Chain A
Amino acid sequence: MSEADEVSIRAEARAWLEANWNPDVDLVEWRKKLADTGWGVPTWPKEWYGRGLSAVQGAVVEAEFRRIGAVGVAKTGIRMLAAATLFDHGSQLHKRKFLHRILTGEDIWCQLFSEPGSGSDMAAASTRADLKDGKWIVNGQKLWTTSAQHAQYGLLLARTDWNVPKHRGLSYFIIDMKQPGITVQALAQMNHHASFNQVFFTDAVIEPEFLVGKLGEGWKVATTTLMHERRSAADGISSWGQESGRVGRAYDQERAEIATVMEPYKWYPQRAGRVDLVVERAQATGKNTDPVVRQEIAKLLTLHRTGQWISSRARAAQQMGRTPGPEGSLGKLVASHVARAAANVHTLISGADAMLTGEDSPLNGVIAEILVSTPATSIAGGTDEIQRNIIAERVLGMPKEPGLDADRPFKDVPRNIVS
């Protein structure tokens, strides 16, 4: 982008925002305006609520939004993954029906991929969609579904053909969540939170036009969604929302929207182990004088620091335009090691108090929450074992373990053994 280009885009965005932004506007009305003028998602195509700008130009517009304090389009939850998937694989009808209300925040979306019987092996999904009288009839169960209780629509991966190998029998649908055939139940976790849902389908109905991509190509479409998920995870959810002090109806409405979406993630800092608390806790309890505890603290801080340095190396290499080395693939596994080591150290420091929970536990329950939340780190988003397979196969070039499911019809593949 030339400098003149940047100046003119900045000036145009600024003029438009100054003429139109008002903090007391109704959020949905404002976002409709953003969608209709293209200023809300300037990098999207012109025919779909955008202005066809490049990423760099889009960043200039975004900076103007921040400068003036204007609320942007809705970005919470998986709505942007849904939008990205529809851009890649959706029909004109899908884009016309869904994109606008994704941007205004009127519709919340959820992702219906994982199942009780298919965790790490997501392509082994056994929720079925059968075509009856021209409609898809869905039966089965999904799990780990964030925001299912709020969602109007779900991105569903379901099996439409049982006579072909697992990856080839899946199809991808948009399903209306507000229908009698769907029951959503919160799933209680071992740490007293219930961040996710189980979703039960009993003859739930999908109109035929809400198949996304071709029949039997659901795995390919789901891979797109997951690719966008990894990319947006890198952007971080902390960038959502405005500072808390701002006054105005639109701000209040945005804060409420974010609070609803963020509620399930309240315990996530504890899940990572809260290394930041270790030294002050050790000093406050006097455990910093115990040589055994000191060794464990040193190991933890070393792991934590070197983990950060690995990420810094990966970022620096990327900025230098170097071929990515192995250091970019190790973060997830390192985070698990850190969380485990941190839970161990917090236990050492807390001594008998580590048996307590809630307000009887140190720091009004924060320590207890660390101890019962860290096991999620080595499971969620890909278990340590799967991470190791990925590292061994993709970074070290080691061969895959021979599989028993790849070449046979899914109906003949062994499933969970229930006695």
Chain B
Amino acid sequence: MKFCFTDEQEQFRTVLRRFFVEKSPATEVRRLMATDTGWERATWKQLNKELGLSAVHIPETYGGQGFGFVELGIVLEEMGRALLCAPYFSSVVLAATAILNAGTEQQKQARLPGIAAGDTIATLAFTEDNGAWDSAGIEMVATPAGGGYRLDGVKSFVLDGHTADLIVVLARQPGSSGDDGLSLFTVAGDAPGLARQLLKTADMTRKQGRLKFQSVQAELLGEAGGAAAPFARTLDQAAACLANEMVGGAEKLRESAVDYAKMRVQFGRSIASFQAIKHKCADMLVDVELAKSAAYYAAEAAAANDPDLPAIASLAKACTADAYMQTAIHTIQIHGGIGFTWDNDSHLWFKRAKSSEVLLGGPHYHRELLMRRWNV
């Protein structure tokens, strides 16, 4: 296992950080989060034309750049730091990875180049109203119809579900349960019978949709009834990615808290000289560095196809979620009254921390998975 980024990876990070500082300042985040779409095609195009970011982990044969999860992790960490408003996690991390894991060769050839180029915005619709993060919660039914399938049911908490061009959907054969009878499908965003509604999310920087399927025509992705394994794998890889995104945000918050403390004077001295504040900041640094270690290790495990990835992904998801949330709470506390206001930027990251804490399953859920995966 490698514990250090290469010089090339560090340079890549530097380029990204500079790009996002310019393209995604808090004013831009605030402008985009106030829109229903939540992102803008112009910025998204630039992201992909100039830096090829949506192609990073997609193999070259499918129009991608052929890097791995470590580079993808770097992209996500920097996006998380900048709180970039873009359909990246939905399209590149969730949908492209699901297609890579489940699709037939022909389907990968057909679907991935569009995502890699940033022309197609895709997403993965798996969660339903019951909010379960694993296959046990899947109730949506896929019925064979003609040459294809018909989907009936509801998907919720779908990232960018209201705007995506292509939706990868998880559904089951009638009468099946658990991991059995699960299949993945692709559906066009404007398919007849599909009703899409934007959900009101506390974290306005990451939009979610509720998708109602009534007899919607769908194309099978991969093997009928064989989606459990590729879906589980997609979730592990996505958890590792989200962990990296979260530590980017956590570190940004930690820096803003320390900067604010150094600037703020009360009782005739910098509040950064009070041990009550210093100790909190030291604890934040420890939390964030532990979380970074977990996120980087998980990205390495995903890149190396480590058989322990399921456990490591859960460890990283739980650890980074706790660290991000705790850092957000401390950051607002250190800012004092101003930290609780709308004008102060802390709440933007606080809300992303909260939505990321829950997305893909909360810390308790993942700790239990970790125990099972380590056979405790």
Contact = CB atoms under 8 A, between A and B. Distances in A.
Interface of A: 279, 282-283, 288, 291, 294-295, 297-299, 301-303, 305-307, 309-310, 312-313, 315-317, 319-320, 322, 326-327, 330, 333-334, 337, 385, 387-389, 391-393, 395-402
Contacts of B319: 302, 306
A333 to B, nearest CB: 6
A309 B371 contact: no
B294 interface: yes
B4 A298 contact: no
Contact of B291 (A299, A306, A316): A306
B3 A391 contact: no
Contacts of A334: 286, 290
Interface string B315-353: 100110000000000000000000000000000000000
B289 A399 contact: no
A295 B289 contact: no
B275 A401 contact: yes
B261 A398 contact: yes
A320 B315 contact: no
Contacts of B275: 385, 388-389, 401
B4 A322 contact: yes
B140 to A, nearest CB: 29
Contacts of A282: 376
B258 A398 contact: yes
B293 interface: yes
Given A309-B294, A398-B273, A330 B368 contact: no
Given A297-B376, A392-B282, A302 B273 contact: no
B4 A316 contact: yes
Nearest to A307: B290
Contacts of A294: 367-368, 371, 376
Interface of B: 1-4, 258, 261-262, 269-270, 272-275, 277-279, 281-283, 285-286, 289-291, 293-294, 296-297, 315, 318-319, 364, 367-368, 370-371, 374, 376
Contacts of A288: 371, 376
Given A302-B319, A326-B289, A317 B4 contact: yes
Given A295-B364, A391-B282, A306 B290 contact: yes
Contact of B367 (A279, A298, A309): A298
Nearest to A296: B367
Contact of B282 (A291, A301, A309, A333): A333
Contacts of B270: 398-399
Nearest to B275: A401
Given A398-B262, A398-B278, A295 B367 contact: yes
25 contacts: A288-B371, A288-B376, A295-B364, A295-B367, A295-B368, A298-B318, A302-B319, A306-B293, A309-B294, A312-B1, A312-B293, A313-B293, A315-B3, A316-B4, A333-B282, A385-B279, A387-B282, A388-B275, A389-B278, A397-B258, A398-B261, A398-B270, A398-B277, A400-B273, A401-B274
Contacts of B291: 306
Nearest to A308: B293
Contact of A297 (B274, B277, B285, B371): B371
Contact of A398 (B272, B289, B370, B376): B272
B272 A402 contact: no
Given A306-B294, A402-B269, A283 B367 contact: no
A243 to B, nearest CB: 30
A392 B279 contact: yes
A216 B274 CA distance: 31
Nearest to B371: A294
Given A294-B376, A302-B319, A309 B273 contact: no
A385 B278 CA distance: 10
Given A297-B376, A306-B294, A312 B282 contact: no
Contacts of B370: 298, 301-302
Contact of B273 (A316, A326, A399): A399
A319 B376 CA distance: 35
B282 A388 contact: yes
A330 B318 CA distance: 21
Contacts of A327: 289, 293
Contacts of A279: 374, 376
Nearest to B277: A398
A288 B261 CA distance: 43
Contact of A302 (B2, B367, B368): B367
B308 to A, nearest CB: 11
Contacts of B261: 398
Contacts of A392: 272, 278-279, 281-282
A334 B258 CA distance: 20
B278 A291 contact: no
Q: Which A-B residue pairs are the 6 nearest by beta carbons?
A: A392-B278, A298-B367, A309-B293, A316-B4, A316-B3, A388-B282
B293 A388 contact: no
A396 B290 contact: no
